[in-house]
Amino acid sequence: MVSPRLASRTWSIEGMVDVVTARRCGLKTALSLGFSTPEATKIAVVISELGRNILLYAERGLITVSPHSDTLPYIEIIAQDHGPGIEDVERVLAGGYTTSGGLGKGVSGSRRLMDEFEIETAVGEGTKIRAVKRLYRRR
């Protein structure tokens, strides 16, 4: 079944309310695209983690959620900001590293929850994270 054309959406992230709105919409979008509840939940949690990071470390930024209802449907999340950037990406991806007294599981955990996960970051310039989850897993 091909789902009706789902629109890509971008949220300006400036407060927790925006994060909540984005993750709720992401959950719905994922469900409409055909993701199961657990898989859609993971997508929503990733939006939440990346959104919180934007608030916490960059103050503001953008999150775009794009559903692709092609023959191999997938959902793409792009989180970008012009904040301080990440100095040690490897350490952040390894998990357990935090500069804010958090758990340090947001980025590393999000990578596990998604099928593709890329970080583009430069100190003093900002951060762009692209994450993809496919409806059908590659075997």
**HSE of 90 in the Cβ direction (CA atoms, 13 Å)?**
0
Residue 88 or 112: which CB sits closer to other proteins? 112
Q: Is 123 exposed, middle or buried (0-12, 13-18, 19+ CB in 10 A)?
A: exposed
Site string for ligand ADP, 95-114 (x = CB under 6 A): --xxxx-xxxxxxx------
Q: d(Cα 37, Cα 94) in Å, to the nearest integer?
A: 27
Query: What residues between 42 and 101 interact with other proteins by CB under 8 A?
Result: 42, 44-45, 48-49, 52, 95
Shortest CB 33 distance to other proteins, Å: 16
Is residue 133 close enough to count as binding other proteins by CB under 8 A? no
Which listed residue (67, 73, 85, 106) binds other proteins by CB under 8 A? 106
73 makes contact, choosing from Mg ion, ligand ADP, other proteins, none, with CB < 5 to 8 Å by partner type, with none
Is residue 113 close enough to count as binding other proteins by CB under 8 A? yes
CA distances from 52 to 13, 46, 56, 71, 92 (A): 9, 10, 6, 32, 15
Shortest CB 113 distance to Mg ion, Å: 13
Helix locations, the chain, DSSP H? 16-33, 37-53, 89-94, 106-113
Q: d(Cα 40, Cα 111) in Å, to the nearest integer?
A: 15
Residues contributing to the site for ligand ADP (CB under 6 A): 49, 53-54, 57-58, 81, 83-86, 92, 97-100, 102-108, 127
